[in-house]
């Protein structure tokens, strides 16, 4: 609400969508207000490894990897894991965790630079809703293409008008606002057969 009441929300969103220093490590009104490693992804890495039965040497891709925190923790949880990450933000990649920085590439989820069936697990957390609709369609198809095992994505959604308003207040970078039923339509249309979770704001 502070971005709406005290600041120019449109200006904040315009700056945030550059995905540069302002978004990651600048003023909170433009994004994270300092995206630093604090270990919060360890629990996620452990649950992913356990749920999907990731074996030593598993190949893992994070689409929208930011500074590589999840990949860093997956490397610690899965012995000899071979990790890769892609993000549109050059700033995030340049400030990634040291042990994964060399495994990350700049690019778009709509055109993944990997061969078919390259990865034992593909994840994309809080990324795909930031794409324009035509890139969303390509990205879902690409994630399906490069995975040879499970895939898992997380996207924002709303189930009623209150949650839609809350999402609009909160978000800075979202381009795709869909209900769970609409998201399912996209999954069916693109042949995305993997797992997914929704984030909504009650």
Burial of 70 (0-12, 13-18, 19+ CB in 10 A): buried
- Is residue 5's pLDDT more than 90? no
Residue 3, pLDDT score:
76
C-beta separation of 67 from 35 below 8 A: yes
Of the options 3.90.25.10, 3.40.50.150, 1.20.120.920, 3.10.20.30, the CATH number for the domain spanning 39-199: 3.40.50.150
C-beta separation of 87 from 106 below 8 A: yes
- Is residue 18's pLDDT more than 90? yes
Dist CA 118 CA 159 (whole Å):
35
- The residues spanned by each domain of the chain are 1-36, 39-199
Residue 146, pLDDT score:
98
pTM: 0.96
Dist CA 92 CA 153 (whole Å):
20
- Is residue 1's pLDDT more than 80? no
Residue 176, pLDDT score:
95
For every residue of 81-115, DSSP letters joined together read: -EEEEEES-HHHHHTS-HHHHTTEEE--TTS--S-
> Span 24-42, mean pLDDT?
96
- Is residue 2's pLDDT more than 80? no
Q: Which two tokens stand for residue 24?
A: 């990651």
C-beta separation of 98 from 71 below 8 A: no
Q: 60-84: per-residue pLDDT in tens?
A: 999 999 999 999 999 999 999 999 9
Q: 133-156: per-residue pLDDT in tens?
A: 999 999 999 999 999 999 999 999
């Amino acid at each position: 609400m502070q971005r709406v009441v005290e600041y120019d929300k449109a200006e904040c969103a315009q700056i945030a969508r550059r995905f540069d220093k302002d978004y990651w490590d600048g003023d909170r009104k433009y994004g994270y207000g300092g995206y630093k490693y604090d270990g919060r992804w360890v629990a996620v890495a452990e649950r992913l490894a356990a749920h999907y039965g990731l074996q030593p040497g598993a190949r893992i891709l994070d689409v929208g990897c930011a500074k590589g925190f999840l990949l860093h923790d997956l490397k610690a949880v899965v012995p000899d894991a071979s990790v890769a990450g892609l993000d549109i933000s050059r700033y995030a990649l340049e400030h990634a965790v040291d042990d994964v920085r060399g495994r990350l590439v700049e690019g778009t989820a709509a055109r993944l630079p990997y061969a078919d069936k390259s990865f034992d697990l593909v994840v994309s957390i809080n990324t795909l809703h930031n794409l324009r609709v035509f890139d969303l369609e390509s990205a879902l198809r690409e994630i399906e293409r490069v995975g040879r095992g499970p895939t898992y994505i997380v996207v924002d959604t709303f189930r009623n008008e209150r949650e839609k308003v809350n999402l609009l207040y909160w978000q800075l970078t979202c381009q795709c606002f869909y209900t769970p039923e609409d998201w399912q339509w996209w999954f069916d249309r693109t042949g995305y057969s993997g797992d997914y979770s929704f984030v909504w704001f009650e």
